[in-house]
Structure 1
Amino acid sequence: MSAKDLPEMNQPGDSMAADSGTESSPNREEVAQADGKPENGAGGSETAGGDPGESVDALKQALQQKENEIGELTDRLQRLAAEYDNFRKRTSREKEKLYSDSLCDVVSRFLPVVDNLERAVSAASETGDGKSLQEGINMIFRQMTDILEKMGVKPIEAVGKTFDPELHNAVMHVEDENYGAGEIVEEFQKGYIYKDQTVIRHSMVKVAN
């Protein structure tokens, strides 16, 4: 057999060289990433920012401005609250006075009726006639006085009391040693007072000494 008839055999070294030649070599980008370095070999530049001190000063200024605004609004609110409270109290007093004046005016219109009933009761008692009439008038008189009392109106005490110009109207004067100075000895017309404060009508009285 001649040498030409033998199959051509590759040497081991030649095969390995061929295989290594076919492998792609790593590019520079992959190498750079493996090394942790950017491709261009230059580090990232820092971004220039504003001055931190200026930012803090601006925030402080804005905060102070808001605090001033809050203070002004709080002061305004307090003034409004005080004005409203004064208005409420003043309105309440005016309302109470209006009611008191109106009530006294109404009651004063009933007083002549009360006076007439009282006189009728007194006359019937003196004559002794008309017992049923007397009882009826007494009942009406009690009803009227009860109504007045429920409204806060009651008679002013007079006989036996010391004369008080705030409550009594002296129409007669008598000298009598049996009575003290300024003592009321007789009442001609009853006076009435509302809630022990407002005199609706003064008592018409006779005063001793």
Structure 2
Amino acid sequence: MTAPQTEQEEAVNETPDAADEMRAQLEALKKENEELSDRLYRTAAEFDNYKKRTAKEKQELSSFAKGVCIKEMLTASDNFERALGVPCKDEEFKKGMEMIFNQLCEAFSRVGVKEIEALGNPFDPNFHHAIKQVEDESFGENIVCEVLQKGYELDGHVIRHAMVVVANP
């Protein structure tokens, strides 16, 4: 009596039709494995893209919300700055107000708010809002000659355009 044969040995001893059938099954399994692997890689890539996209959207939403909040505070900052320009008899009071205003400006800077440079620069509608045009030979063509209200940007986005007067348009 002989020892029992393994499945592989039995397959080898079977007819050529059975071997062809097993090869076909093997090829089908290989193809299915490739398809599943491809699907897995695609799903992993889609998930990675999803994570990146949602992180970017989260950052943009945060930046937008921060910009809306800061824009509301800029009006108070402008009024504070105007008030500091008014003559004051009490120098200690004025010095204290200047210190508070400087702290406010530093806080804006720490959160990423930057003032848009306008005075003496060429007019750029992406950053400036022209309120008035004047003819002035002391300035070049299309140069901002006066800033009526400062403009600001946050994270590379304008949160308020600078209101300016443009010379020699």
TM range (shorter): 0.7 to 0.9
109-118 or 84-93: bigger deviation: 84-93
Q: Percent identity?
A: 40
Task: Pick the aligned partner of 1:130 from 68, 90, 103.
Answer: 90
Gaps of 5+ in 2: 2-9
Q: Distance in 2 between matches of 1:171 and 1:107?
A: 23
The 8 Å contact of residues 163 and 207 in structure 1, kept in 2 or not, is answered as: yes
What SS does structure 2 have at the residue aligned with 1:102? helix
Aligned runs of 1:72-111 on 2, under 5 Å?
A: 72-111=35-74
Q: Normalized per residue, which structure has more strand?
A: 2
Aligned runs of 1:16-55 on 2, under 5 Å?
A: 51=14, 53-55=16-18
Q: CA deviation at 1:93?
A: 2.2
> Is it true that 1:151 corresponds to 2:111 in the alignment?
yes
Corresponding position of 2:24 = 61
Corresponding position of 2:5 = none
Task: Pick the aligned partner of 2:76 from 105, 113, 126.
Answer: 113
The 8 Å contact of residues 188 and 205 in structure 1, kept in 2 or not, is answered as: yes
Task: Pick the aligned partner of 1:194 from 139, 150, 154.
Answer: 154
Higher Cα radius of gyration = 1
Q: Distance in 2 between matches of 1:165 and 1:65?
A: 63
**Bigger RCO of structures 1 and 2 (CA < 8 A, at least 6 apart):** 2
- Structure 1 stretches of 4+ with a deviation exceeding 4 A read none
Q: Distance in 1 between matches of 2:88 and 2:49?
A: 62
Gaps of 5+ in 1: 1-43
Aligned runs of 1:8-23 on 2, under 5 Å?
A: none
What SS does structure 1 have at the residue aligned with 2:85? helix
Q: Distance in 1 between matches of 2:70 and 2:88?
A: 31
What SS does structure 1 have at the residue aligned with 2:138? coil
Q: CA deviation at 1:116?
A: 1.5
Corresponding position of 1:206 = 165
What SS does structure 2 have at the residue aligned with 1:141? helix
How many pairs were matched up? 158
Letter in 1 for 2:38: D
The 8 Å contact of residues 154 and 194 in structure 1, kept in 2 or not, is answered as: yes
Q: Distance in 2 between matches of 1:73 and 1:101?
A: 41
The 8 Å contact of residues 120 and 137 in structure 1, kept in 2 or not, is answered as: no
What SS does structure 1 have at the residue aligned with 2:146? strand
* TM score, norm. by length of structure 1: 0.69
